[in-house]
Amino acid sequence: MIELQYLIFTVIILALTFDFINGFHDTANAIATSVNTRALYPNHAIILAAGFNFVGAMVSTGVAKTIGAGIVSSAGLVDEKIIIAALIGAIFWNLFTWWIGMPSSSSHALIGGLIGAVLISVGVNGLNLIGIGKIFVGLVASPAIALITGIIIMNIIFRVFDKFNPHVINDKFRKMQVVSAAMIAFSNGSNDAQKSMGIITLALFSGGYIAEFEVPTYVKILCATAMAIGTATGGWRIIKTVGGKIFKLEPPSGFAADLNSSCVVFGATLLTLPVSTTHVVSGSIMGVGTAKRVNAVRWGVAQQMVKAWFMTIPITAAIGAASFFLVEAIF
């Protein structure tokens, strides 16, 4: 019993660590555009993002249930050791991509780590292939949708404000970016924090600590707090890539990207689909850039980001699988 309690405690600590890292890793999603257009001072942007991340994380648990119950075929097949191995894979990849300043998906990292750990320990029968397929559709479709809707929203702004004075327009949209930054921070919290909630709840349920797969209130508060604190530390390496290297943002395009991203991410939350806020924001920026001029987007940087996206799941699956043997040896 003592060993089981030690294992569940380890799961919770690692899941909250992942949530903390997810916070500073994905801070760029919420504030990169507003910081780079000088709509907000960096410190003010981080405080705003942290606050709305916390509020967003408390709104629902649908995504948590999808993560916790949609990847594995049965909670009874997954023990704490498998979840610990999955979290090690996700944490390692998040830290590595943060260090090199490459936007990547925390969602992909967590899903890949869990798939690898389950495959090596239980086998393919331990995976819910239909559930994983549903999750993959959301992860792949969301950045494509964000790119298309980003083009549409930016073209609408161009048409409506075409004859206005550029300096006046920039000033107005810079103020509106405060609202759009809050919206993307809220939607980011509503989707991303739930991933750790789902993992902790899966461990509690499979270990018999809770009777049904419902996210306890204390788990929601812990995960929301961990993400908010992580967000408050900032993620400046990734902010430079997202905010400036894909496309040179101006206040109207920054507002369009934030508004578009928040709608796509929160729409996914309502559908209980985990998506990558990083991918959605990057897709939105590519979309608004394309609306202005196709060659205004630095497609070389975008191509490197796409490669990192495709690499994430296989690499984290391999790390999760390898970590399982390490966890087995330790525990």
**In which region does residue 101 sit, left (phi positive, over 0), alpha (psi from -120 to 50) or beta (all else)?**
left
pLDDT in the model for residue 303:
75
Amino acid sitting at position 229: I
pTM, entire model: 0.87
At which residue do the structure tokens 């989707």 appear? 191
Please state the domain count of the chain: 1
> Contacts by 2-9 with C-beta closer than 8 Å and gap 24+?
3/331, 4/80, 4/207, 7/79, 7/80, 7/81, 7/84, 7/207, 7/331, 8/80, 8/203, 8/204, 8/207, 8/209
pLDDT in the model for residue 252:
92
SS3 at position 301: helix
SS3 at position 58: coil
Q: Which residues of the chain have pLDDT under 70?
A: 1-4, 26-29, 103, 234-247, 301-302, 305
pLDDT in the model for residue 38:
81
Amino acid sitting at position 238: I
pLDDT digits (tens, 9 = 90+) for 17-42: 999 988 877 666 677 778 778 888 87
pLDDT in the model for residue 1:
47
Domain with 208 in it: 2-330
SS3 at position 161: helix
